[in-house]
Amino acid sequence: DAKTTQPPSMDCAEGRAANLPCNHSTISGNEYVYWYRQIHSQGPQYIIHGLKNNETNEMASLIITEDRKSSTLILPHATLRDTAVYYCIVRVAGNNDMRFGAGTRLTVKP
Amino acid sequence: EAGVAQSPRYKIIEKRQSVAFWCNPISGHATLYWYQQILGQGPKLLIQFQNNGVVDDSQLPKDRFSAERLKGVDSTLKIQPAKLEDSAVYLCASSRSPIYTGGGGGTQYFGPGTRLTVL
């Protein structure tokens, strides 16, 4: 199973872009990168996923490096409600097991 | 579309007592998961069901934990007897795709969780 490395915490000013990095240097060719977030006292919420191309949806953008060894989740205009723990997960091939690490605690400040 | 429902939201019990949690997945989702999340850690998978069959229960402490998913819809997770270290949030999730297809088919959607405190 590929493992991920994320910084334990980050701060971001409200209205600015939040860029959350993730290293997954041992990722396999058929493994996807998923991002979830968990707001206090709630279950994890799906944000976005990708294989090798950059992806964008209404919540965020996902930038995956060409060698796929790292990725960055971008929240283009962070709000106070984006304060949460953000998890970068590499999907284990062959089943639906999501291996969560400790994630990055993002604090958006006014 | 209704989300994953869980009950109760909070439960406080004494050690050695038993407790049960209930989960109703998103309609049409064949795969259901139970996770345990200890304070300050990410969720850890306990068991995965595909319809009403168990796909993976390798991390379920089977001496005290049990789970079932009768009729392939709702599921219950039971702890008997509970220990202090079982204090955690128990999360239920569901996904649409019955097998790993990669990508969005296996995206998991989580319920709000049940916070268990064992005294």
pLDDT digits (tens, 9 = 90+) for B42-67: 999 999 998 889 988 999 999 999 99
3-state secondary structure of A82: helix
Q: Which residues pair with A5 in a beta bridge?
A: A23
Find how far residue B47's CA is from the centre of its chain: 7
A45 vs B: CB within 8 A: yes
What would the pLDDT profile of A10-39 be if each residue is shown by its tens digit? 999 999 999 999 999 988 888 889 999 999
Sheet holding B19-24, edge to edge: B5-7, B19-24, B75-79, B65-68
**E strand residue ranges, chain B:** 5-7, 10-13, 19-24, 31-37, 44-50, 53-56, 65-68, 75-79, 88-95, 109-110, 114-118
Question: Measured between alpha carbons, how far is B60 from B87 in angstroms, rounded to an integer?
Answer: 15
Q: How confident is residue A41, by pLDDT bands cut at 50, 70 and 90? A: confident
Q: In chain B, what residues touch A98 (CB-CB under 8 Å)?
A: 43, 45, 108
A51 vs B: CB within 8 A: yes
Q: How confident is residue A94, by pLDDT bands cut at 50, 70 and 90? A: low
Q: In chain B, what residues touch A42 (CB-CB under 8 Å)?
A: 112-113
Determine the distance in angstroms separating the CA of B35 from the nearest CA of chain A, rounded to an integer. Answer: 10
pLDDT at site B118: 97
Is residue A50 within 8 A of residue A2, CB to CB? The reply is: no
Asked if B43 lies within 8 A of A91 by C-beta distance, the reply is no
3-state secondary structure of B20: strand
Q: In chain A, what residues touch B40 (CB-CB under 8 Å)?
A: 102
Interface probe for B, chosen from A96, A98, A99, A105 (most Cβ of B below 10 Å), is: A96
Asked if B4 lies within 8 A of A44 by C-beta distance, the reply is no
